[in-house]
């Protein structure tokens, strides 16, 4: 609810096409891996650590009133490489992606969702940003 109120206030001031999200959380990277084999909605605004060569799956669930998550992007594809997973299949409302920790460094994973409105209905131009920071160590 807090994220929705923040997003509504932000977009009311910024106008159409803006993207907002929850305030950044904090997590401190360590030498030991902190990320598991699956990154989920619960990891939003966290910092997770992986070793070079590790792989993980991203699983995001559609939230009530919003469209499915889309535009899943790694900010540094040299650090996090997207992988095709030919065996992955999701149910309606679930977004899947798979990544490999390819080189030491930091990359942000982001995804976006917009308001879910009925066809033909007036719809506010609100969007939501999901983000997690991935630190890859040797």
Residue predicted with more confidence, 87 or 91: 91
Give the mean model confidence (pLDDT) for residues 91-117: 94
pLDDT band (50, 70, 90) for residue 50: very high
For 49, counting Cβ atoms within 10 Å of its Cβ (0-12 exposed, 13-18 middle, 19+ buried), the class is buried
CATH architecture of 2-137: Sandwich (2.60)
Looking at the DSSP assignment, which residues form a beta bridge with residue 137?
Answer: 51
- Which pLDDT does position 98 carry in this prediction? 94
Domain definitions of the chain by residue range: 2-137
């Amino acid at each position: 609810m807090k994220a929705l109120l923040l997003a509504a206030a932000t977009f009311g001031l910024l106008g159409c096409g803006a993207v907002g999200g929850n305030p950044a959380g904090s997590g401190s990277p360590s030498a030991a891996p902190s990320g598991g084999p699956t990154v989920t909605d619960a990891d939003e605004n966290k910092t997770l650590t992986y070793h070079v060569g590790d792989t993980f799956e991203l699983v995001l669930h559609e939230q009530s009133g919003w469209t499915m998550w889309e535009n899943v992007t790694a900010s540094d594809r040299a650090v996090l490489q997207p992988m095709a997973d030919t065996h992955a299949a999701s149910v309606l409302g679930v977004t899947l992606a798979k990544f490999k920790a390819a080189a030491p460094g930091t990359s942000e994973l982001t995804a976006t969702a917009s308001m879910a409105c009925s066809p033909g209905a007036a719809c506010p131009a609100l969007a939501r940003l999901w983000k997690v920071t991935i630190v890859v160590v040797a």
